[in-house]
Chains A and B, each alone.
Chain A
Amino acid sequence: MKSFSRGDIGVAVRSLRSSRSRSLLTIFGIVIGVSAAITIVSIGDGIKNQIANNVNNVGRDLITVRPDLLQPTNAVSAIVSESSPGSNNLSSNDLQLIQSLSNVQYAAPLSLLNTPIIKVDNHAISGIQVVGTTNDIVPIFNQSLQYGSSFNQDGISNDAMLGQGASVKLFGADVALGRTFTIDGQSIFTRGELQSFYSAPLSIDLDFNNVIFIPYSLVSSLQGDNASTYEILVKPTSPGAIGSVVSEIESSLTQAHGGVQNFSVLQQKDSLTASDTIVNLLTKLIAAAAGIALFVGGIGIMNMMLVTVSERTGEIGIRKAVGATNRQILRQFLMEAVVLSVSGGIIGVIIALLINVALRLFTILEPTVPWPTIALATGLSLIIGIVFGLIPAAKAARKDPIDALRHQ
C-alpha cells in the first residue's frame, strides 16, 4: 500500500477548510505550544551566547573578588547577593594588597555609590549609576576611551569618565567632554568618554554604558564610611596564572581579614555557570509549560476529530459503499488529524520566527534560531496528530457501512 500521498493531503486540507474556523480554533493549542517552546529556547540560547560573548569580550582571565562568601554553583544566591552589595568587607587596603601580589597585572575596585544625586545645571538626572574605580578599569575591560583621557593621576581629582548611555542622559547630543555636573553637590569635570560596552541581558554585571566612573578616592570623600566596595576586578599577567593568582588572593586576604574568609574569589567560568544555570532552569520550566499546551492541543484535535467523524458518518458510508477499506478510511481521518496538528506546528514555527525578529529589532535580546528545537517541535506536532487522531480515525474505520449510509 502506498504511504501518505499528496492526494491524501489535498483531501484532508479540503475537508478541514470546509470547517475553517473550527479547524483554526482547534490548532490554537498546538500553535501556542510550538511557538512558546521555540521562542523560549531561542531566547535562552541567545542569552547564553550573549553572556559568553560578554565574557570573551572582557577576557576569560578576569578574576572577581566579591565581599560575600558565595557558593558559585548556587545561582540563585549569587543573584540575591548581587542585588544587595551592602557588605563592607572589602576596603582600599585589600585593593593595595592585591595590587602588590606578583602575577597581578591590573586590579581595579568597583564601588557603587548609594543613591547619588546627579544634577546638570540644577536639573536632576536619574537612571545612572555612579561607580568609583581606578584607571586600571579601562584595560581590565579591554576598553578604550572614545574621547578624552582617563582620571588625572595627581592626587584627588574631581573628574569622571562616562559611559555612552550616561553621556547621553547627562548632556544629550552635546559634546560631554570638558563639561561639568554635580554628584551630591560635588562638582565633577568630564574628562573622558568610553567606547560602548557590550551588554548582555540577564547578566549579573552592571550595564556599564549607564555608569559614571569616578576616581575610587572620591567615593569616600563623597559618602564617607557608607561607601562600600562592591567588587575588585583583577587581571593576571597571563591567562596561565589565573589559578595561582586566585589562591594567592584567597590566602593573603584571609590573612588580612583575621583568618576569616568573608569574601569570594570568582573566575569567569563561575559566573558563566551561574547564569547558565538560571537560564537553563527557566528554559526547562517554560518548555514544560509549552509541552502541556501541546498536550492540551492534542486533546482539542481529538475532540474535533471525534465530532467530525460523527458528523460525517454518511460520507463514511458512501466511501465504504464505493469500495473504501477500513484502512483507507482510517488513513483519511488520521491524515486530517495530522494535517491539523502539523499545520498548527508550522504556524507555531512561523510565529516563533516572527517573534524572534521582533525581539532582535526592539529589545537587546539576540535570540538564536534553534533549528533542532524547530525540528523537534514540528516532529512533536506530527506525533501528536498521529496519537490523538488514531482513536477518532479508528472509530471512523469501524463504522458499519449500513448504519453509516442510513445516517445521511
Chain B
Amino acid sequence: MAIIEINDISKVYGFGGATTVALDEVNLTIEQNEFVAIMGPSGSGKSTLMNVIGILDRPTHGTYKIGGRNVEKLSQNQRAKLRRDKIGFIFQSFSLLPRLTVLENVALPLAYRGLSTTRRLKAASSMINRLGLAEREYYLPRHLSGGQTQTAAIARALINTPSIIIADEPTGNLDSNDSRLIMELLSDIHKDGTTILMVTHNPELTRYATRVVYMRDGMIIHDELTALGRVAPTARKAMNYLPFKTEEDDLAGVSALMKVIPGGDSPVDKKSSRRSKATKKPKSRSTRSRSRKAKS
C-alpha cells in the first residue's frame, strides 16, 4: 500500500478576484521507502504541497491518505497526533528552539507523547549519540555550527521514528561540506526504510533520491525515477548549463532546469503553450497522465 496518496488536491488562497492557486489538482502517490526530491522555482507550490503532506495545512479540495488513512476528516487533535507519530520535519532554517539545549530540543516531540522527562531525555541522548553529536548535547543551538544544528534538527525529526521525513531545503543554509554531511545522514535514514520527501533547488542533490518530481505553477509537470548515486537525467541536463555554488546559482539552475524539462519551456514539448497563463486550460488530466507516464 502506498504510504502517501494524494488525489486531485488543490489549495486556493484568498477570495474572489484575488485568489492564488497554490496547488492545482495535484495527484501524487509515494510508496514506502521512496526518496523523493521535489524541484521547482519559487512559488511553484512545493512548500504548500509539503505542508499538505505534513498535515500542517488543509487542502481546499481533494483527498489525502496517509498509510491508507484519510486525513481530511480528522479533527485538529487527531491531525496533531498523526503529525507527531508519522512525520518528521526538517526545515531550511533548522527551527530549533533557541532557549532549549540540543538534548531538550531533540526530546521535544516525545514530551507531546506524554513520556516522562527521564525517559525522553534518555531517548534523545541515544538518538543524538547515533547521529554523532554526543559531545554537543548540552549546547544551545546558537553555539553549534550549521551542520551540527541541522543534525540536531534531524535527530528531533527522527526521535518519534516517523515513517515520513519531510525536508524543506535541508541544505539551503549550509556550506558544501555540511551539505554533504546532512545528505549522507538523510541517505542513511533512507536506507533504514524511512520515506523521505525533500524540496531542493540543487539538481546535484537528486543523486540521493530515487525519484524526482518537478513542479511549476502548482502542478506536477514531470515525475521521473532515478538511480541512487546519479543525478536525475532531467536535472543533469540543466546542470550542464551552470555551476551550482550559491543559492542564486541554484535558482538560476532551476530556470535552466525548466528549459530542459519535458513540459517546461522546451520547444520539443507539444504542450509547452500551457505555461503561459493567458492560455490556461484545465490541466489536471494532462498532469495526471504525465505522472502516470513517469511512473511506468
Contacts and interface: CB of A to CB of B under 8 A. Distances in A.
B191 interface: no
Interface residues of B, number: 27
Nearest to A2: B114
Contacts of A402: 51, 56-57
A326 B97 CA distance: 18
Interface in A301-346: 314-315, 317-328
B112 interface: yes
A320 B80 CA distance: 7
A401 B160 contact: no
Interface in B96-141: 96-97, 99, 108-109, 111-114, 117
Contact of B112 (A6, A18, A322): A322
Contact of A326 (B80, B89, B111, B160): B80
Given A7-B117, A402-B57, A405-B56, A323 B95 contact: no
B204 interface: no
A15 B76 contact: no
A149 to B, nearest CB: 78
Contacts of B111: 7
Nearest to A7: B117
Nearest to A322: B109
Contact of A405 (B81, B95, B156): B95
B83 interface: yes
A318 B113 contact: no
B201 interface: no
In this complex, the member of B80, B83, B113, B156 whose beta carbon has the largest number of chain A beta carbons within 10 angstroms is B80
Contacts, number: 64
A405 B93 CA distance: 10
A269 interface: no
Interface residues of A, number: 25
A14 interface: yes
A325 B160 CA distance: 15
A47 B85 CA distance: 63
A212 to B, nearest CB: 71
B83 A321 contact: yes
A321 B77 contact: no
In this complex, the member of A1, A14, A318 whose beta carbon has the largest number of chain B beta carbons within 10 angstroms is A318
A146 interface: no
A321 B112 contact: no
Given A319-B108, A323-B81, A323-B160, 17 more contacts: A6-B117, A7-B111, A319-B97, A320-B83, A321-B95, A322-B156, A323-B84, A323-B109, A324-B80, A325-B81, A326-B76, A326-B80, A328-B80, A401-B56, A402-B57, A408-B93, A408-B95
Interface of A: 1-2, 6-7, 14-15, 18, 314-315, 317-328, 401-402, 405, 408
9 contacts: A1-B114, A6-B117, A318-B96, A320-B83, A322-B109, A322-B156, A325-B77, A402-B51, A408-B95
Task: Name the 9 nearest CB pairs between A and B, nearest first.
Answer: A323-B84, A325-B80, A322-B109, A401-B56, A323-B112, A321-B89, A318-B95, A324-B112, A7-B117
